[in-house]
Amino acid sequence: MSTKTPKVYDQVIEQIKNKIKNGELKKGDRLPSEREMSESLGVSRASVREALRALEVIGLVESRQGAGNYIRTNFDNSLFEPLSVMFMLQESSIEEMHDLRETLELQCARLSAKNIENNELELLTAILDRMYMAENEEESLELDIKFHYLIAKTSRNVLLINVLEVISQLMDEFIKKSRMQILHRGNTRENLLEIHENLVRALKCRDEAKAYRAMEEHFGLIRKAYGYEK
């Protein structure tokens, strides 16, 4: 049985990955020149360019005109878009999406209680006030999404934030469907707002356990609406 020979440009990508793993390359660092990589790996410069283009497409590397290639410093809407599409293609069930979102957001709530700053609490409160005054479900949904992403941001855990960004399109759609399902099952808009208010109150108290429980209450309502309570 023959062993598949890796493509030449895979060697280039692997070298860059290894340099990142061992700390030789960090965010914002300039990559070796195409000539240097070509000579060190014994591959053509065309293969090096092909690898760099692939890394640029997924958002790991950026090319700066006349200055060379660099590890990106900001990964918003870059690396994460292909992964978001991949999750969509998996056709995950609503319950699987719920489990993922619940796992992430419970920890975000707990960490937010510890790390959220006063100005962010004011912003969260302002979003909640606007949710009370929203005149239609479209506006309520937009504010609901902002509310949850602000809590994620204030967790200060970059990995949690990044994973949520990876699946942001799925999460936005999931929040929309969850709200519709909750309201369809006889829960009022006031029930939903009260749960959000409990969460803000817990964050203001800097109480990690209460924040965690408040977020659990939120997801309990979703589970009940979908009929798969724990």
Report pLDDT for 47: 85
pLDDT digits (tens, 9 = 90+) for 139-151: 988 999 899 999 9
State the Cα–Cα distance between residues 152 and 147, nearest whole angstrom: 9
pLDDT digits (tens, 9 = 90+) for 18-73: 888 888 888 899 998 999 988 988 888 888 888 888 888 777 888 888 889 998 88
Report pLDDT for 89: 60
Report pLDDT for 202: 97
- CATH 1.10.10.10 domain residues, the chain: 8-71
Could you please state the CATH topology (level 3) that the domain comprising 8-71 is classified under: Arc Repressor Mutant, subunit A (1.10.10)
pLDDT digits (tens, 9 = 90+) for 151-190: 999 999 988 887 887 776 666 777 777 777 777 766 677 8
Residue with tokens 């978001």: 84
State the Cα–Cα distance between residues 230 and 213, nearest whole angstrom: 15
| Amino acid at site 89 | L
Higher pLDDT, 74 or 99: 99
- CATH 1.20.120.530 domain residues, the chain: 80-226
Report pLDDT for 2: 41
Kindly state the percentage of the chain with pLDDT values over 90: 34
CATH H-level superfamily of 80-226:
GntR ligand-binding domain-like (1.20.120.530)
**Sequence-ordered list of residues with C-beta below 8 angstroms from that of 75, at least 6 positions apart, any chain:** 59, 162
State the Cα–Cα distance between residues 2 and 81, nearest whole angstrom: 35
Report pLDDT for 6: 56
